[in-house]
Structure 1
């Protein structure tokens, strides 16, 4: 499928990349709002191949519970020649950087590293050496006349990982060193976990060193254009009322719009939408039943009253919902928090509709 819209976000990100690295950027938004699709589109279609080298690390598909897991995802190993091993034996690996980066590649999905060296990192569990190696890699790219960009997708997956304290704080210090202090490498972090973004936003060590880019669901006007665009791609004819009906159920969530239109080849539109809503209502009822039975450490009646706040409005100040209830509903992907404006809303129109139907 052709990429659709997001011109505002594309322009903002390209403007950042054209300047000297000076801040860490967090690209955040509700689940399935299109963050990864956006960043991949920029990397593959908007960046000058003669100017940038991108290191894209996606933590989404990996189970990361140990330091070793993170290191193995971070790096791409290659076999060292005998001469390289001898050289590295006599010289510090920080001084002796193997000439292993193909700067003609726009995208690298891991940091190149000799197998023997990664074994040293894994055995010693010394993040300082890892960060020194990465810095040397990025400096080497700069010397070769290109601007390195480090992108980590779903960064929150290492939020609770520990090595002599939380790894995430060491990583933040490293990012600050790369951007604010040395201006070597752009750093972009993607996350759909709004509780993680809230922690980042409140973190004192990151104050004035981080900026935020919201990639939200489409607004109504854009959503209706996307519905029309995707329906045409699938050779499905929709009249104005049908387009508006789709939006009224699933809003501007691209993945849900695609799901509805794809199903229209074999099902009636109203049946598709009713089925989606019934499934969402059922999920909500199951969660509330679990809460009522005491499976979560929150008060059932207070949860009911909290969700009731969305009966007539899509977005409310986060202060209107108690923190323990708010955090549970965010973790369960029912609510999304924007810590920049302190607003909280359902993760999608579909969930919002399920909440409203529940209170009928």
Structure 2
């Protein structure tokens, strides 16, 4: 079995200036798995658009299976947070039910972000407990970082501001959205179709959005990103 993580790092690399390295690798993988039956190949990527390239390739789509690795659901997340000693070998403190609910609300099931918060809470432990204000301070810091990322990306571009505002409005009422939900931006001449697609692609690559190549739906990259975008939009209401 061959396992390759983040294969998209090899994009835009050519052999002898002509043959694309990734295409040659994919041809090799198909030969190894479907023609010679020598092994299985597992490719993982956090870039949904890269996986979409595989999905849209007629040869690869017919010889591949796709699996989405998403964040933890609410039940699993709350079980983890209420059983820190068992699930994370963490004995320094326990969380209250309200603190677990707070983490779920603002971090969702993002395992890396939650694990980071849990580690950062260690210096704040007092008698095996965590103060609510200390937890909220760390969560707000994570949200502020995402707000700052939005601010830097949008800059003075009114088109990007309109796009972020539209995405936020869509995500307030739905778990995910599709490209057609943004057609007002094209009708109002804020974007050309190809420019909008390129913008969405860039937002996926920069981890503002996630993209499911099977359903072609987008969503903001986790709850902390949603609240970061929310704070960014609300702080700029006077300009939009």
Does 2:193 correspond to 1:193?
A: no
2:29 is aligned to 175
How many positions carry a matched residue from both structures?
Answer: 207
SS at match of 1:262: helix
In 1: Cα distance, 2:84 partner to 2:31 partner = 43
In 2: Cα distance, 1:219 partner to 1:280 partner = 22
Q: 1:255 aligns with which of 79, 101, 112?
A: 112
Q: Cα distance 1:211–1:309, how it changes in 2: closer, same or farther (>3 A)?
A: same
The one-character-per-residue Cα deviations of 1:15-50 (angstroms, maximum 9, x if unpaired) are xxxxxxxxxxxxxxxxxxxxxxxxxxxxxxxxxxxx
**How far apart are 1:203 and its partner, in Å?**
1.2
Q: 2:57 aligns with which of 203, 209, 214?
A: 203
Does 2:18 correspond to 1:161?
A: no
2:162 is aligned to 301
Q: Cα distance 1:160–1:283, how it changes in 2: closer, same or farther (>3 A)?
A: same
TM-score (ref. length: structure 2): 0.79
Contact 1:303 1:325 survives alignment (8 Å): no
Q: Mind listing any 5+ residue stretches in structure 1 that lack a counterpart?
A: 1-148, 293-297
In 2: Cα distance, 1:299 partner to 1:356 partner = 15
TM-score (ref. length: structure 1): 0.54
SS at match of 1:309: helix
SS at match of 1:257: helix
The one-character-per-residue Cα deviations of 1:132-182 (angstroms, maximum 9, x if unpaired) are xxxxxxxxxxxxxxxxx1111111111211113211111111111111111
Root mean square deviation, CA, Å: 1.9
In 1: Cα distance, 2:225 partner to 2:175 partner = 10
Q: Mind listing any 5+ residue stretches in structure 2 that lack a counterpart?
A: 125-133, 183-195, 235-240
In 1: Cα distance, 2:167 partner to 2:110 partner = 24
Higher helix content, 1 or 2: 2
Q: Greater shift after overlay, 328-337 or 299-308?
A: 299-308
SS at match of 1:211: coil
Contact 2:164 2:229 survives alignment (8 Å): no
Higher strand content, 1 or 2: 1
- Which 4+ runs in 1 deviate beyond 3 A? 229-232
**How far apart are 1:198 and its partner, in Å?**
1.1
SS at match of 1:152: strand
Contact 1:314 1:352 survives alignment (8 Å): no
